[in-house]
Structure 1
Amino acid sequence: MAKAAVLLLLAIVPLLSRLLPFPSLALNQDFCVADLPRGDTPGGYPCKPQSAITADDFYYRGLAATGPTINPFNIGLSSAFVTRFPGVNGLGVSAARVDFAPGGVVPLHSHPGGSELLFVVEGTMAAGFITSLTNKVFAKTLHKGDLMVFPQGLLHFQYNLGNDTAVALSSYSSANPGLMILDFALFANDLPSDVVSKVTVVDELEVRKLKALFGGSG
């Protein structure tokens, strides 16, 4: 009886992996290149047909140059998440590059889906994160060649300490770690300003100024 059950399981698993082409279920595949037009799912993007996969799916030049500027933070950001780099789908990895102009800052933000490992390529910067239970801050001054890790989901930041451009590369423990920037979450929304003032204990006039800065309404 036990032998029959094992044989049945061995027969079913390959069938399921063909019928359910998602990263966590494609048990007999080496990889699952994202089929982006089919949309995301809780298990990741569906797999692109093997016959349609080329070397270009595993290659990306998006971090070779400074990305678009994010105002008012004076930084350039380019990412290699699954939505831009389909080959990382299901592999639990992705990357990003940040270029900090003098005075540039990555404000308090979090990645709900993954931890971040930051590597300083050029310049000097301050970086740190805040714990969720005690609000304890862990911060360091980072120089060229230094690494710092930010645990998944925790608010963290970086800013340029020098007079020249600083550059950092980040890797993530997820193909799509997500990004929530605290300033945008608070002031780029359409909640009425008096409500934001109540829930943040920030003066309503200041809230209105910040909503104007970040493009919010209400």
Structure 2
Amino acid sequence: MEEKVLDNLRNAVIGGKPRLAVQETEQAIRDGYPKEQILNEGLLPAMHEISREFKKDEPDLAHTLSCAKAMKNSLNLLQANLEEETFPSKGLVIIGTCGGDLHDIGKNVVAVMFEGIGAHILDLGVDVSSERFVKNVREHPEVRVVCISCLLTTSFREMERTVQNLRKERKRSGLDFIIMVGGAPVTQEIADKMGADIYTENAAKAAEAALPYL
């Protein structure tokens, strides 16, 4: 079977072209490609390539969002057209910007990237207190990833408090979720000091790093 359509699909996602990605997904479906092959040889390799590219340059949020939309649209199309197959189930991600921080652009991009790999998203918004994060974890024991965003260094203390309270809740409840942090001023060293499980420097890498836990 001709593999060019999957190459075209990968390139459309990497290029941040949602309409073209949908067209190539439609073509792959018409050509009879199995859903798993479209995912594993078309969409997921595109996500990995985006992550590698972001290691070289400053993250371009607009392009990242376009890439995520391309992947999300393709996944939605797959699910709509292949209902007779069991669509891979991805876990719940709870995401929010930490207390004291009203910025949401970075958080929104990360949320779309997670949706792009098929995760279910519970977006708590901005200025989310530690108590609210913990409350939502208790209300959604199926959660697999809790993602905390921060753009202000003045909110580091609240982010650390949130991480520590989530760790306590995880130990108390026995729930199986990971704690991920990110944002422009956050570094690996800061994340380690806070006690977070995972830190990534951009949205594409966040989705890639979380994928094994979903």
TM-score, normalised via structure 2 length = 0.29
Structure whose CA Rg is larger: 1
Higher helix share: 2
Richer in strand (by share) = 1
